């Protein structure tokens, strides 16, 4: 076919998704501009007001009345999301010191740094719901709140850094783009910022794998091995199948969640197939094939029993990741105390000066 | 005029920045506070950026076809020209911040002088890196004050860090009158910045005559070889591969 | 992504700061989010590293979250509706005869 032998920039991996993020941002502004004729006043009937705002696709803001369960659901989801960003720094951080070129080292460092930033945006969004970051960090360190199970798998080779970027960040973006339209304002705004920054993450992962798969035989093998190990855990990132998902229906009604686990998983598979072809790598699923009738790929489901075991704490790296986080937190305690003590001294000093003046 | 002296200088400063970046990068996921994780990564990225510019230029001056990666990943420790200060292990947060204070207080006047030197490329690198180093200096000074004048424990740790690192700063100012920038001329600026910060932090400079050195001649501490082994392992395992 | 004046928080060791960034000269500072820092100096630096990694700003304000007094949604009518009938504050209120430029 004439004129189709190039890939326009917006069709590169992540490009279409970035467009969706921008569309979500536009929708947020448009919904904000719409007036709700005859809407209940917030003071008279808060529940009706809340329902009106959700119906109009507008955003609930921190000081609005909201059902307790809505608040709890959001706190749990945003906190787990934040924890995932922070724990998710470890598998990739593992390769910063050994990155094979200075350019790759810089990109990886910037990416891991972004993840810390995303964790902080999300903790800040959770804090608007009346819970403190310290409490949430404590819940993580005590093992009472979870993070995404994918980060309990090890990064054994450099190609794993590529696979995390392409598959794990790719799956995360598919999950997160709809959250840019979430009904809770601070979460939606945080997600817009996160998604915009993450588009580079997925591209760098794809580029790493592309370079490897077009490199030496050893590099190619490294890339295929990474895909073999990360494919099914990435599919499992979308959570249990719809029939087994406990929180979904209410979250969909509240417009916290916009699509079901299975819908998002399908979208991800459909995206990856063509990208794997460009990489020249084989997705480790003999039953993967196009279904003309469904206009989607049929594929083998991930092992959900394995997912449940990893969530329970029996993945390859659960203990290691938690111990690492606990140690960093404990080792930093004296520094945080010092900064607090110094700030108190400075405040006392300026008080004394004021009194003296 | 570009000559072997520019090469020597670009290589030495590039190695300082590279090894400093490698050490700072080790902090990723381990900082005392999440905000500080981001700050340390920023500083590491600045050092890494300066290292890449300096090593690329050193490779061009050398004219032997070595690029930044060949210089970073395919030299042994005896061929590295960084000062000893940057290769010392991170230690606790106090060691890292005092080390950064000493390094940045040296790099700011150094890059400032470089910005005015005759070699245009070095001058451009100096002009860019000077601003970054000024921020590193600010960050380190802020933290050294907080640690020195914070709690008893933080004071004890900060003083121990100063005691450990202070001897290593002398190497930075070893006179080299023929170099495009003579390090000996930077000491006054360094003192003018560092002494007041330590004083405000209630920290004292140790009275010791020990002045370890040798990094600029490729004679390092035992630590550098380990650092390079880790940094170079993957690159060396696949000779000639592209990444 | 915090909005000022939230429901009460349990006390934390390191206070919360709200961050405002001026994206470019000529624009006003806009709320971009929040962060924790023990004091103002560190808050400002943390804000620079967290919210302007991609050259998003030319100027930053940090404000202790506790120092912000916010209106509540219940007060919306009293606070903001009086402005709704003051259409004369908007330039489109005025009819300009044809042929008048630069107004």
ipTM: 0.97
For chain C, give the longest Cα–Cα distance.
64
pLDDT computed for residue B18 by the predictor: 98
CB pairs under 8 A between A and C: 86
Distances in whole angstroms, Cα of residue A304 to Cα of each of A80, A175, A300, B209: 20, 18, 11, 65
The residue of chain B with its CA nearest to that of C34 is: B35
A302 touches chain C (CB under 8 A): no
Distance (Å, whole) CA A321 – CA A153? 10
Closest residue to A42, CB basis, from C1, C34, C74? C74
Distance (Å, whole) CA B121 – CA A342? 43
B42 touches chain C (CB under 8 A): yes
Contacts of A123 in chain B (CB under 8 A): 34
Chain-chain contact of C6 with A130 (C-beta, under 8 angstroms): yes
Contacts of A135 in chain C (CB under 8 A): 10
Contacts of B39 in chain C (CB under 8 A): 45-46, 49
Contacts of C50 in chain B (CB under 8 A): 35, 38
β-bridge mates for residue A48, sequence order: none
pLDDT computed for residue C10 by the predictor: 39
A63 touches chain C (CB under 8 A): yes
Helix (H) or strand (E) holding B52: helix B34-62
Contacts of B223 in chain A (CB under 8 A): none
Burial C68-88 (b: 16+ CB within 10 A, else e): eeeeebbeeeeeeeeeeeeee
pLDDT computed for residue C11 by the predictor: 39
Task: Assess contact for B57 and B8: CB atoms under 8 A.
Answer: no
Task: Assess contact for A98 and A157: CB atoms under 8 A.
Answer: no
Give DSSP secondary structure letters for A112-129.
HHHHHHHHHHHHHHHHTT
Chain-chain contact of C2 with A120 (C-beta, under 8 angstroms): no
Instruction: Please give the angle made by the CA atoms of C63, C67 and C70, to the nearest 5 degrees.
Output: 105
Query: Which chains form contacts with chain A, at 3 or more CB pairs under 8 Å?
Result: B, C
At C2, the pLDDT band (50, 70, 90 cuts) reads very low
* Distance spanning both ends of chain B, measured CA to CA: 35
Residue A110 CB coordination number (10 Å): 18
Reported as a single tens digit per residue, the pLDDT across A232-249 is 999 999 999 988 776 678
A24 closest CA partner among A187, A211, A182? A182
Closest residue to B39, CB basis, from C36, C38, C46? C46
Closest residue to A337, CB basis, from B31, B73, B151? B151
pLDDT computed for residue A212 by the predictor: 98
At C102, the pLDDT band (50, 70, 90 cuts) reads low
Position C63 pLDDT exceeds 50: yes
Distances in whole angstroms, Cα of residue A294 to Cα of each of A220, A266, A270, A289, B204: 33, 11, 12, 11, 74
Q: Which of C45, C48, C62 to mutate to test the interface with B (most CBs of B within 10 A)?
A: C45
Contacts of C56 in chain A (CB under 8 A): none
Task: Assess contact for A222 and A159: CB atoms under 8 A.
Answer: yes
DSSP 8-state symbol, A44: T
**Count of residues in chain B:** 243
Distance (Å, whole) CA C76 – CA C55? 35
Q: Which of A147, A211, A342 to mutate to test the interface with B (most CBs of B within 10 A)?
A: A342
Instruction: Please give the angle made by the CA atoms of A154, A155 and A158, to the nearest 5 degrees.
Output: 170
Chain-chain contact of C33 with A336 (C-beta, under 8 angstroms): no
Contacts of C41 in chain B (CB under 8 A): 142
Interface of C with A (CB under 8 A): 1-3, 5-10, 12-14, 16, 33-36, 38-39, 42, 50, 53-54, 70, 72-74, 76-77
From B102's Cα to the closest Cα of chain A, the distance in A is: 20
Chunked in runs of 10, what are the mean pLDDT values of chain B (243 residues)?
81 98 98 96 97 98 97 98 98 98 98 94 96 97 98 98 98 93 96 98 95 97 98 98 96
From B12's Cα to the closest Cα of chain C, the distance in A is: 29
Sign of CA dihedral A180, A181, A183, A186: positive
Distance (Å, whole) CA A106 – CA B69? 13
Task: Assess contact for A252 and A73: CB atoms under 8 A.
Answer: no
From B132's Cα to the closest Cα of chain A, the distance in A is: 16
pLDDT computed for residue A42 by the predictor: 66
Contacts of B42 in chain C (CB under 8 A): 49, 53
pLDDT computed for residue C83 by the predictor: 58
B223 touches chain A (CB under 8 A): no
B142 touches chain C (CB under 8 A): yes
Residue B76 CB coordination number (10 Å): 12
Distances in whole angstroms, Cα of residue A78 to Cα of each of A62, A84, A333, B124: 14, 10, 25, 45
B68 touches chain A (CB under 8 A): yes
Q: Percentage of chain C surpassing pLDDT 70?
A: 56
Instruction: Please give the angle made by the CA atoms of A222, A227 and A229, to the nearest 5 degrees.
Output: 95
Position C80 pLDDT exceeds 60: no
From B161's Cα to the closest Cα of chain A, the distance in A is: 14
The residue of chain C with its CA nearest to that of A128 is: C2
From A356's Cα to the closest Cα of chain C, the distance in A is: 23
β-bridge mates for residue C35, sequence order: C17
Phi, psi of A12 (to 5 degrees): -65, 160
Chain-chain contact of C39 with A346 (C-beta, under 8 angstroms): yes
Task: Assess contact for B21 and A108: CB atoms under 8 A.
Answer: no
HSE (side-chain half, CA atoms, 13 Å) at C74 = 5
Closest residue to B41, CB basis, from A113, A208, A216? A113
Question: What is the distance of C-alpha A241 from the center of its chain?
Answer: 19
Chunked in runs of 10, what are the mean pLDDT values of chain A (357 residues)?
36 59 83 68 80 90 92 95 97 98 97 96 95 95 95 98 96 92 94 88 93 98 98 96 78 86 96 96 98 98 96 96 97 96 93 82
Chain-chain contact of B33 with C36 (C-beta, under 8 angstroms): yes
For chain A, give the longest Cα–Cα distance.
84
Strands C59-64 vs A289-291: parallel, antiparallel or unpaired: unpaired
Position C77 pLDDT exceeds 60: no
Distances in whole angstroms, Cα of residue B171 to Cα of each of B54, B56, B144, B187, B218: 20, 25, 22, 11, 13
The domains of chain B, with CATH numbers, are: 4-205+216-237 (1.20.1260.10)
* Distance spanning both ends of chain C, measured CA to CA: 40
Distances in whole angstroms, Cα of residue B157 to Cα of each of B36, B95, B154, B161: 18, 8, 5, 6
C15 touches chain B (CB under 8 A): no
The residue of chain B with its CA nearest to that of C49 is: B39
pLDDT computed for residue C89 by the predictor: 62
Interface of A with B in 191-230 (CB under 8 A): 208, 211, 215-216, 218-219
Burial class (CB in 10 A: 0-12, 13-18, 19+), C35: buried
Helix extents (H) in B149-203? 152-165, 187-200
Position C9 pLDDT exceeds 60: no
C46 touches chain B (CB under 8 A): yes
Position C23 pLDDT exceeds 70: yes
Reported as a single tens digit per residue, the pLDDT across B196-216 is 999 999 999 999 889 999 999
């Amino acid at each position: 076919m004439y004129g189709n032998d190039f890939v326009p920039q917006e069709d590169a991996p992540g490009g279409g998704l970035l467009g969706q993020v921008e569309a979500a941002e536009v929708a947020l502004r448009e919904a904000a501009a719409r007036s709700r004729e005859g809407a209940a006043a917030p003071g008279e009937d808060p529940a009706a007001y809340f329902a009106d705002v959700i119906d109009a696709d507008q955003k609930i803001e921190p000081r609005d009345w909201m059902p307790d369960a809505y608040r709890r659901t959001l706190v749990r989801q945003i906190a787990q999301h934040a924890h995932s960003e922070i724990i998710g720094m470890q598998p990739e951080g593992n390769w910063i010191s050994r990155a094979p070129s200075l350019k790759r080292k810089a990109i990886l460092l910037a990416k891991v740094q972004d993840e810390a930033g995303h964790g902080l945006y999300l903790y800040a969004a959770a804090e608007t719901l009346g819970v403190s970051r310290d409490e949430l960090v404590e819940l993580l360190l005590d093992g009472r709140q979870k993070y995404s199970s994918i980060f309990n798998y090890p990064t054994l080779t450099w190609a794993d850094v590529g696979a995390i970027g392409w598959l794990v960040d790719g799956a995360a973006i598919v999950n997160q783009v709809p959250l840019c339209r979430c009904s809770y304002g601070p979460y939606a705004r945080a997600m817009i910022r996160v998604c915009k920054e993450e588009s580079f993450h997925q591209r760098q992962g794809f580029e790493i794998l592309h370079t490897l798969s077009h490199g030496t035989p050893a590099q190619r093998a490294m890339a295929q091995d990474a895909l073999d190990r990360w494919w099914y855990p990435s599919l499992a990132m979308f959570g249990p199948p719809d029939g087994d998902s406990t929180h979904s229906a209410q979250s969909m009604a509240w417009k916290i969640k916009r699509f079901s686990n299975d819908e998002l998983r399908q979208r991800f598979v459909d995206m990856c197939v063509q990208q794997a072809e460009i990489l020249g790598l084989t997705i480790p699923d003999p039953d993967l094939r196009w279904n003309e009738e469904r206009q989607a790929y049929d594929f083998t489901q991930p092992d959900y029993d394995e997912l449940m075991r990893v969530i329970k704490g029996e993945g390859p790296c659960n203990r290691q990741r938690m111990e690492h986080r606990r140690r960093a937190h404990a080792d930093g305690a004296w520094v945080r105390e010092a900064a607090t003590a110094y700030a108190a001294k400075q405040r006392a000093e300026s008080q004394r000066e004021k009194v003296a003046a | 005029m570009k000559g072997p002296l520019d090469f020597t200088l670009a290589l030495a400063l590039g190695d300082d920045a590279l090894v400093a970046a490698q050490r700072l990068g080790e902090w990723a996921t381990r900082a005392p506070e999440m905000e500080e994780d981001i700050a340390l990564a920023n500083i590491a990225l600045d050092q890494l950026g300066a290292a890449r510019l300096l090593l690329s230029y050193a490779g061009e001056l050398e004219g032997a076809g070595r690029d930044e990666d060949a210089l970073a990943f395919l030299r042994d420790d005896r061929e590295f020209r960084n000062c000893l200060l940057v290769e010392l292990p991170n230690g606790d947060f106090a060691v890292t911040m005092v080390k950064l204070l000493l390094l940045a207080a040296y790099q700011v006047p150094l890059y400032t002088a470089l910005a005015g030197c005759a070699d245009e490329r070095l001058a451009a690198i100096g002009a860019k890196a000077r601003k970054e180093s000024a921020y590193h200096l600010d960050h380190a000074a802020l933290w050294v004050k907080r640690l020195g004048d914070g709690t008893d424990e933080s004071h004890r740790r900060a003083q121990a860090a100063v005691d450990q690192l202070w001897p290593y700063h002398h190497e930075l100012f070893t006179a080299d009158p023929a170099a495009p920038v003579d390090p000996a001329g930077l000491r006054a600026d360094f003192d003018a910045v560092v002494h007041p910060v330590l004083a405000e932090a209630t920290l004292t400079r140790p009275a010791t005559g020990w002045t370890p050195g040798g990094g600029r001649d490729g004679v390092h501490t035992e630590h550098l070889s380990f650092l390079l082994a880790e940094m170079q392992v993957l690159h060396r395992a696949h000779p000639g591969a592209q990444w | 992504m915090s909005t000022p004046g939230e429901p009460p928080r349990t006390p934390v060791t390191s206070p919360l700061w709200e961050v405002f960034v001026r994206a470019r000269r000529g624009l006003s500072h806009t709320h971009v989010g929040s962060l924790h820092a023990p004091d103002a100096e560190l808050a400002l630096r943390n804000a620079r590293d967290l919210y302007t990694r991609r050259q998003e700003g030319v100027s930053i304000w940090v404000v202790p979250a506790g120092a912000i007094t916010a209106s509540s949604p219940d007060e919306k009518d009293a606070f903001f509706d009086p402005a709704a009938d003051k259409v004369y504050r908007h330039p489109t209120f005025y009819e300009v005869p044809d042929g008048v430029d630069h107004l």
